[in-house]
Homo-oligomer: A and B are copies of this chain.
């Protein structure tokens, strides 16, 4: 039971992953395996004052190569056997670690997880689960970008995985699961969504049917299921829109003396909101459906974001996330094969 941290992933590697991992240790019991090159990591480690201050034990695992953000994921993972990400994934395969945290190339993290960590029995496609920090409460978005062109059976599995994820990591006993669609009626939407509605109804406890974009932000469900293309567009649009809207508020406030004063007084309140929407507060996306806890942190992650990502991974390990996901998918498979699940119509 350890967390392998990829020190060479992300825009601010190796400083941010290293700093973040060390910061995350306090009060954490799960040991850390820092995967990266001896230098400059050793010297950074030596220079870190917090090193001896307790918390989770740390071990260093050497890996000299790195996979760049622009490299072809599968090719890079196959060729670069000494890349920090690949070495970290092998630690999971060998049972030396139960979790992996990387801010590197998302496609490469997926590829390394599939090639070296492997899927849970019965899982057709692992998916990215992201916790959206909405004002009405956190909502799990699944799939946030791992799979495009998803047949209905994949959407059903995302719902099952997302529900188990919300139970374990958000502590919601009876999560409400919604299918993202463009209308409330079961007959609405594209072919995949229409058929997924039929598959999910009756098979997923707490299925609330179709939810529209606006419902997601009105607290209509705890888990929202969609194709990774739609999920990724939604996630990135939210990010872009929030930053655009907060920028516009700032600009509007700066235009008059009255507005400037108002903005100054409102700053602490707006700052709290900005923090809440900030990707760093929450750390990363979980790749669910593989034989380990895999957290993909934002490529822009700084030390704070990386630290949160490592803490999230520790929660996943300690709360038995993988076992819960495995049980959920096993429960789905039993006696359901006859209904054509897994076959694209």
Contact = CB atoms under 8 A, between A and B. Distances in A.
Interface in A253-294: 253, 255-256, 258-259, 261-270, 272-273
Interface stretch (A19-27, A166-174, A234-242): A234-242
A182 B145 contact: yes
Interface string A202-238: 0000000000111111100000001111101111111
B268 A259 contact: yes
A249 to B, nearest CB: 6
A180 interface: yes
Contacts of A215: 240
Contacts of A319: none
A252 B234 contact: no
A243 B229 CA distance: 24
B213 A233 contact: yes
B233 A180 contact: yes
A239 B214 contact: yes
Contacts of A191: 148-149
Contacts of A264: 262
Report how many copies the assembly holds.
2
Interface residues of A, number: 60
Nearest to A192: B149
Contacts of A122: none
Nearest to A276: B248
A57 interface: no
A263 B249 CA distance: 12
Contacts of A135: 244-245, 247-248, 251
Contacts of A227: 190
A255 B268 CA distance: 11
Given A244-B136, A273-B248, A214 B237 contact: yes
A213 B242 contact: no
B272 A265 contact: no
Contacts of A226: 233
Contacts of A118: none
Contacts of A182: 145, 148, 228-229, 232-233, 236
21 contacts: A135-B244, A135-B247, A145-B182, A182-B229, A189-B229, A190-B229, A212-B236, A213-B235, A213-B240, A214-B237, A214-B239, A214-B240, A217-B243, A237-B238, A241-B242, A249-B249, A259-B266, A262-B263, A262-B264, A265-B265, A266-B266
